[in-house]
């Protein structure tokens, strides 16, 4: 038999950079993230108190804001570490 799946079993990681918090995240926050806050975690390279208040799950990766292989891998590693620590069953990465 198939294992049951509930919303709390899913970990959605949204990767972004501070300079795009308003330009790109506002639309997501007004649409699907607003319906799935409990399972959505935003990973970024800078603190943003307004974003944290709005979503509840913002993680500053302390990785470089550069769009380099090293910086992107750093963010991905932080995402995956948080997923493993969460104990959730499914990982969804959105970039």
pTM for the predicted model, two decimal places: 0.91
Q: Is residue 34 part of a domain?
A: yes
Q: Is residue 13 part of a domain?
A: yes
Question: For 75-84, what is the mean pLDDT?
Answer: 98
Q: Is residue 53 part of a domain?
A: yes
CB 16 within 8 A of CB 44: yes
Residue 42 and residue 10: Cα distance in Å, rounded?
Answer: 14
Q: What is the mean pLDDT of the chain?
A: 93
Q: Is residue 1 part of a domain?
A: no
Q: Is residue 2 part of a domain?
A: no
Q: Is residue 82 part of a domain?
A: yes
Q: Is residue 24 part of a domain?
A: yes
Domain count, the chain: 1
Q: Is residue 14 part of a domain?
A: yes
Token couple for 31 = 């649409």
| pLDDT, tens only, 21-48 | 888 899 999 999 999 999 999 999 999 9
**Domain range holding 61?**
7-94
Residue 46 and residue 17: Cα distance in Å, rounded?
Answer: 7
């Amino acid at each position: 038999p198939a294992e049951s799946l509930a919303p709390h079993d899913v970990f959605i990681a949204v990767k972004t950079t501070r300079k795009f918090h308003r330009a790109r995240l506002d639309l997501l926050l007004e649409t699907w993230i607003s319906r799935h806050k409990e399972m959505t975690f935003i990973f970024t390279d800078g603190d943003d108190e307004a974003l944290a208040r709005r979503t509840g799950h913002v993680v500053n990766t302390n990785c470089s804001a550069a769009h380099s292989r090293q910086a992107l891998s750093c963010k991905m590693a932080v995402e995956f570490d948080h997923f493993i620590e969460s104990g959730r069953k499914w990982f969804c990465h959105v970039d």
